[in-house]
Structure 1
Amino acid sequence: MTAAEPSTDGSYRDRIAAIEPGGNEFIAEADRHGKPSQLFWTWTSPNLEFATIFLGVLAVSVYGMTFWQTLAGMAVGTGLGALAHYFLSKRGPRHGVPQMVLGRLAFGFRGNAVPSLLMTVTAGIGWFATNSVSGAFALSTLVGVAPVLALVFVVVVQTALAVFGHNLVQAFERWAFPVLAVIFAVTSVVILSKADFGAPAVAGGVGGTGGFLLTVGTAFGYVAGWAPYAADYTRYLPKSDATARTGFFAAAGLFVSCLVLQVVGAASVTIGPAVSDNPTAAFTAELAPLLANLTLLAIAIGAIAANAINIYSGAMAFVTIGVKLPHHVARAAATVFFGVVGFLIAWWALADAAASYEAFLLIIAYWIGPWLGVVFADQYLRGDQPVAHFLYDRTYSNWPGLLSFLIGLVVSVALFCNQTNFVGYVARAVPQLGDITFFVGFLIAGGCYLVLCRSKLATERVAA
C-alpha cells in the first residue's frame, strides 16, 4: 500500500452493532478479521430464496425443458458463474479493497465509472427490486396483508442492515443460514419426493438447443450477477487468507445453494402450476400448511439476506464511481436512496413478476459477460505486478479497457441478443442458438483487451 491510498483506522474491526465508518478505502491490517469458511454461509444464505427457485420454474414452464435437461443446463450455468466467483473472491484479502475498486486496473479511474454505474443500477436497484418482490409475495401470503404493505416491511429491514454495513450484513447471513438451510432442506425433500422426473416438456415452450442455452444463460446470469460483489466480502479477511480456501468457500456456497434450489424449482413444476399472480403461493400450494408457512417465512428471510448484500454492494459501487463526498456519507446516502428507488420499481413489478425476472436475468448477463472478460484478461496480463498505487489515482487511465468492454457488449448484443423487444441479427437467422450473448461478450471483450492492452501493461511492469 502507498501513502496516497485512503485506509481504515482500525476502529471497526469485528464490531457488529456499529455503523461501518468507511466507504471503499483499503482495509488496514488492524481491521482485518474473520476466516475463509465464513464465506460459505455468506454466499449460501442470500441464495436460499425464491428468486433462485424461480430459475428452475422458468426453465421448465417457459423454456420448455424437461427436468433432466434443466438440471444439466443449470449445472453448467451455475458452475461457470461460481468459477468466476472463485477467482475474484481470492483477490479480496490480498488487495483489501472492494471489487469495483479493483476494476480501476482494467478500466482506469474514470473509465471504471461505466461498469460501476451498471453495477450500482443492477445491484442497488434491479436485484434489490427483484428480490423484494419475492419477499413481499411470501410475507403477504403468510400474514394475509396486501403485497405492498409486505413490500414496505421487507424494504425497511434490508435497507437498515445495509446502512450498518459489512459486519452486520455478514452476521445476518450467519444467523439466517441455519434457519434457511433447515427449512429449505425439508421443503426440498418433500417437493422432490412428489416430483415426476420423467414428465414431458411443457407444450409451447422454447425447447431444443435454444431452450437449453437460455437455461444456461439465466443460471449464469443469476450466479455471475454476484461476481462484481466478490471482493467486497473478502477484503476484511487477513492478507494471509488470499488463498484457494477463500475462493473455494465463496464459490461452494454459491454453487450448492443455487443448484439445489434451482432443481427444486424445476421439480415443483412437474407437480402443479408454477406461474401465477402470486408465484410463491403457487410454489407452496403442494406443501402441508405448517411447512408451507415455514417455507414462506424462509422465502421472506432469504429475500432480506440477498438484498442486504445487494444494496450494500450497490452503494459501494456508487462510491467507487468517484463521487466527491466523504466515503461514509456517500455510502449511507446511496443506501437509503436505492432503498426508496428499489421499492418503487418492486411495487411496479408486482403485477408481472415472471416476465420481469426473465428479462432481468438475461440483461444482467449481457454486461457482466464482457466485464468478466476484461477483468480476467487484465488479471492474466498483470500477474503478480504491484497495483496498489493505481487504485486511488484519479489520473490513472486505461481507455482501451473500456473500449474492449464496449466492443464486447455492443457486438454481442447486436448479434446474439434474444429478447422480446429486440432479437440480434445472428439470433434471428439461427433461432436455435437461444441467447448466448453473455459468452460471446466475454470472449470478444477479453480478446480485445489482450490485444489492445498487452503493450501498455508491459510498459507499466517495466516502470514499476
Structure 2
Amino acid sequence: MTITRPSYGGRMPSGSGDLAVEGHGIAPVPEDRRYGGPARLFTVWFAPNLTVSGVFTGTVGVTLGLGFWTALAAVVLGTVLGAVPAAYLGTWGGLTGTGQLPLSRLAFGSGVVLPGVMQWLSSIAWDALIGLFGGEALAQVLGWPFWAGALAVLLLQGVVGVFGYEVLHRLQVVMTFVLAAAFLAIAVGLLSDVSLPTAGSVHGADQTGAFWLTAAVALSLSVSWTPYASDFSRYLPRSTSRPRMFWYALLGVVLSFLCVQVIGLWGAKVLTDQTAAGLHHLLGGGALGTLGLLAVAAAAVCSNAMNDYSGSLALQTAGVRLPRPVAAGAAAVLGFLLVLWMHAADTTARFQNVLLFVGYWIPAFFAIVLVDFRARAREREGAPIDVAAEFARPVPWWPAVLAFVVAFGAAVPFMDTSLYVGPVARALHGADLAYYVAFVVALGVYWPLRAGRRAGERSRP
C-alpha cells in the first residue's frame, strides 16, 4: 500500500470552524495545513464516552458481588490503565500528521492489513453497541419502531463521520456541555433514593477474581480508543506541547468513563432492565425520562461518528481505495445491520461478548507500534521525524504479524466472557488477565525481532 495515493488525499479543513466535508484520507497532513490547540483533545475524548452503555457496563462490579468501593477501585484502575495508551499515542498525531492505523504501517509493513481490518470491524461493532441503546431511546421518544430509531441514529452519525475531522471536534465541544448536564440530571433523578451498595457478597479468591474481571471490563472501554488515538490529533501543529496533549486526552477519557460507570455502580441494584425503556421507567417517565432518552440518542450519535471516521481511515489502511467520506458512510450502514442482529435476541449477552472481544487485540497492537516508534526515534538520534522518509524504508511484515498473532493466542486461556472462559481465568476465579498477557507477550516477541532487524541492517555493506 502506498500511503500517498491520490485516493488517500483530498480536501482538508483550512482551520477552526471550516465545516465543509473533509475529503482527506490517510495521507499525512502537511505541516502548513495544521491548526488548533491541545485543549480540543479534552472535549473530543470526553463527550463520546457519556453513553448509557458505559452506565450499564458500570453495573458489572456490583453484579459480580463486589462492594461499591472495591468495585470503584477496580473501575478506576482499569479505566486509567486503558486510557494511558490512547492518550500517549494521540501525541503522535501532532508529530506526524498521520492517523493511528496508517501510522502503524511503520511497524507492520504490508501486514498492516491485519490490524486495519480488525479496527474496521471493531468500529462497526462499537457502532452497534452504542447505536443499540441510541436507537431504542429515539424510537421510544418518537413512538417509532426500533429499526426506524436505529436508522435515524445511524444516519445522523454517518453524516457527521462523512463531514469529518473539524465537524467532529466542533460537535464534541458543544456536546461536552450538553451531555454533561443531561447525565448529571439523570444521575440525580436515578440515584436520589438509592443507597450505596457498600457490602459485597463475595470474599477471598472469588472477590479477587471479580475485582480483576471488573477492571478488565473497565479497561476494555478506555483502551478501545487506542487504535483511534492520533486520528483526532493529526491536524495539530508539530509544535504543540506533547505533555499537554497527553494530559488533556487522558483527563477526557478517564473523567468521562468514570462519570458514567459510577452511575452504573451506584444504581446497579435498580439498573436490571438494561434497555432505554428500562432507564426511562427508572427515571419516572415525564420530562426527566424524555431528557434521559434524548441524551442517550445524542450520545450515540457523538460516539459513533468517531467510530465511522476512524473506521474510514482503517478501511483505507487495509488497502481499500474508497474515498474517506464514502468509507465513513459504509461503516454506518454496516453498523445498522449489526444493531438489528443484536436487537433480535439476548441483547445483554451479545453486548457483553462483543464488548470484550473487540478489544482483546488492542494491547498487542499497542506494544508493537510502541516498540517500533521508540526504536525509530533512537535510530534518528534526536533528529525530527520525517514521515515520508520513514514510510519509504522497507519493513518486513512478518515480525509484527507474528508477535500480534502469538500474543492474541497467549491471551486466550486468560479470557473470561459468557461465550468462553479460559482455563487460567477459571482457575483464577474468573479474573480476566488477557489484556495484560497480550501486551507482555507482544513486547517479548516483537522487541527482539525488531532489534535483530536493526542489527541486520547495520551489518549490510
Give the TM-score of the pair, scaled to structure 2: 0.90
Separation of aligned partners in 2, 1:28 and 1:170 = 19
Is the CA contact (8 Å cut-off) linking 1:12 and 1:21 kept in structure 2? no
Is the CA contact (8 Å cut-off) linking 2:128 and 2:338 kept in structure 1? yes
Q: How far did residue 39 of structure 1 move?
A: 1.1
Separation of aligned partners in 2, 1:349 and 1:290 = 29
Q: What residue number does 2:342 align with?
A: 349
Is the CA contact (8 Å cut-off) linking 2:9 and 2:27 kept in structure 1? yes
Q: What residue number does 1:47 align with?
A: 49
Tell me whether 140-149 or 292-301 shows the greater mean CA deviation: 140-149
Q: How far did residue 390 of structure 1 move?
A: 5.6
Amino acid in the other structure paired with 1:19: V
Is the CA contact (8 Å cut-off) linking 2:107 and 2:395 kept in structure 1? no
Secondary structure of 1:239's aligned partner:
coil
Q: How far did residue 11 of structure 1 move?
A: 5.4
Cα gap change, 1:54/1:445 in structure 2, threshold over 3 Å: closer, same or farther?
A: same
Separation of aligned partners in 1, 2:62 and 2:194 = 13
Q: What residue number does 2:279 align with?
A: 283
Separation of aligned partners in 2, 1:9 and 1:279 = 41
Q: What residue number does 2:323 align with?
A: 330
Is the CA contact (8 Å cut-off) linking 1:78 and 1:258 kept in structure 2? yes
Q: What residue number does 2:376 align with?
A: 382
Is the CA contact (8 Å cut-off) linking 1:16 and 1:171 kept in structure 2? no
Q: What residue number does 1:119 align with?
A: 119
Separation of aligned partners in 2, 1:93 and 1:443 = 28
- CA offsets 1:257-315 (integer angstroms, 9 cap, x no match): 00111011111123x2x233x62232343335322211211111011000000011011
Q: How far did residue 375 of structure 1 move?
A: 1.9
| Residue number among 408, 416, 419 corresponding to 2:417 in the alignment | 419
Is the CA contact (8 Å cut-off) linking 1:158 and 1:307 kept in structure 2? yes
Separation of aligned partners in 2, 1:290 and 1:221 = 33
Amino acid in the other structure paired with 2:218: A
Q: How far did residue 330 of structure 1 move?
A: 3.1
Q: How far did residue 427 of structure 1 move?
A: 2.6
Q: What residue number does 1:57 align with?
A: 59
Amino acid in the other structure paired with 2:408: L
Cα gap change, 1:58/1:233 in structure 2, threshold over 3 Å: closer, same or farther?
A: same
**Superposed counterparts of 1:352-363, under 5 Å:** 352-363=346-357
Secondary structure of 2:111's aligned partner:
coil
Separation of aligned partners in 1, 2:12 and 2:349 = 46
Separation of aligned partners in 1, 2:27 and 2:450 = 27
Separation of aligned partners in 2, 1:330 and 1:397 = 27
Separation of aligned partners in 2, 1:256 and 1:339 = 27
Cα gap change, 1:201/1:287 in structure 2, threshold over 3 Å: closer, same or farther?
A: same
Amino acid in the other structure paired with 1:88: L
Q: What residue number does 2:312 align with?
A: 315
Q: What residue number does 1:365 align with?
A: 359
Separation of aligned partners in 2, 1:54 and 1:383 = 42
Give the TM-score of the pair, scaled to structure 1: 0.90
Separation of aligned partners in 2, 1:93 and 1:9 = 19
| 2:304 equivalent to 1:302 | no
Secondary structure of 2:361's aligned partner:
helix
Separation of aligned partners in 1, 2:238 and 2:405 = 34
Is the CA contact (8 Å cut-off) linking 2:13 and 2:19 kept in structure 1? no
Is the CA contact (8 Å cut-off) linking 2:51 and 2:299 kept in structure 1? yes
Q: What residue number does 2:87 align with?
A: 86
**Superposed counterparts of 1:152-163, under 5 Å:** 152-163=151-162
Q: Unaligned regions of 5+ residues in structure 2, if any?
A: none
Amino acid in the other structure paired with 1:421: L
Is the CA contact (8 Å cut-off) linking 1:89 and 1:234 kept in structure 2? yes
Is the CA contact (8 Å cut-off) linking 2:11 and 2:22 kept in structure 1? no
Cα gap change, 1:64/1:392 in structure 2, threshold over 3 Å: closer, same or farther?
A: same
Q: How far did residue 433 of structure 1 move?
A: 4.6
Amino acid in the other structure paired with 1:43: W
Separation of aligned partners in 1, 2:92 and 2:235 = 11
Equivalences, count = 448
Q: How far did residue 214 of structure 1 move?
A: 1.3
| Residue number among 443, 447, 451 corresponding to 2:448 in the alignment | 451
| 2:197 equivalent to 1:186 | no
Secondary structure of 1:419's aligned partner:
coil
Separation of aligned partners in 2, 1:222 and 1:426 = 23
Is the CA contact (8 Å cut-off) linking 1:34 and 1:237 kept in structure 2? yes
**Superposed counterparts of 1:90-109, under 5 Å:** 90-108=91-109
Amino acid in the other structure paired with 2:222: V
Tell me whether 110-119 or 25-34 shows the greater mean CA deviation: 25-34
Is the CA contact (8 Å cut-off) linking 1:86 and 1:248 kept in structure 2? yes
Cα gap change, 1:458/1:32 in structure 2, threshold over 3 Å: closer, same or farther?
A: farther
Secondary structure of 1:112's aligned partner:
helix
Cα gap change, 1:406/1:46 in structure 2, threshold over 3 Å: closer, same or farther?
A: same
Separation of aligned partners in 2, 1:84 and 1:419 = 23
Cα gap change, 1:8/1:115 in structure 2, threshold over 3 Å: closer, same or farther?
A: closer
Q: How far did residue 127 of structure 1 move?
A: 0.4
Separation of aligned partners in 2, 1:32 and 1:8 = 15
Q: What residue number does 1:142 align with?
A: 141
Cα gap change, 1:267/1:16 in structure 2, threshold over 3 Å: closer, same or farther?
A: same
Is the CA contact (8 Å cut-off) linking 1:53 and 1:261 kept in structure 2? yes
Amino acid in the other structure paired with 1:67: F
Tell me whether 153-162 or 375-384 shows the greater mean CA deviation: 375-384
Secondary structure of 2:267's aligned partner:
helix
Amino acid in the other structure paired with 1:116: G
Is the CA contact (8 Å cut-off) linking 1:4 and 1:392 kept in structure 2? no
Cα gap change, 1:461/1:54 in structure 2, threshold over 3 Å: closer, same or farther?
A: farther
Separation of aligned partners in 2, 1:160 and 1:462 = 52
